[in-house]
Amino acid sequence: MKIAVSLPKKTVQTLCLFGNLNDVVNKILYQGEIGVIDIMNKPKTNARKGQTTIVFIDITNEYYLDLLKTFTSRSSTISLHRLLVWFTENEIYNTLDFEIVNEPKEVFSTNNVFLKRYSSAVVSLQALYNICNENNKNLLKKVFLIMKSMGGSNDK
């Protein structure tokens, strides 16, 4: 399941040091599943607009997907945003021996107009989907599939 998450750019850059963002996030969720870390009820963050970016993470961890069914993706109890910011700000990766596999680099170009607009369009599409009737929801699903085929992938 792909989930759009707004994260500080520094958080994304740090996570990408350890591999593909999808794989790293699912690895973190697995650590929660086996009880190594607590993935619930993380503190609020100070992320400021303009210093964040929207990333689309493909969640494959069944434990977390089950939690989403219970709490919904907007729940602060299982907030992926809060978990990932907490994970990087507290350098939890050091205690879990995450291995750096990528060189530090600028993950997101501030000049990438397409990605910024694509991200904004997807967030708007999700908000519209939440308030429209069933007929329009089916249409919006088709629009989303077309947009997904256009790109906007954060896989590097």
Per residue in 75-105, pLDDT (tens digit) is 888 899 999 999 999 999 989 988 888 877 6
Looking at the chain, the domain(s) classified CATH 1.10.1220 span 2-95
Element (H, E) at 150: helix 134-150
Give the pLDDT mean for 18-31.
Answer: 94
Asked if pLDDT for residue 116 goes beyond 80, the answer is no
The pLDDT value given to residue 10: 87
In angstroms, what CA-CA distances link 72 with 3, 9, 77, 138? Answer: 11, 25, 9, 21
Asked if pLDDT for residue 59 goes beyond 90, the answer is yes
Cα separation of 80 and 85, whole Å?
8
The CATH classification number of 2-95 equals 1.10.1220
Determine the distance from the C-alpha atom of residue 33 to the mean position of all C-alpha atoms in its chain, rounded to a whole number.
Answer: 18
Give the pLDDT mean for 21-42.
Answer: 94
Angle between helix 21-33 and 9-16 (nearest 10):
90
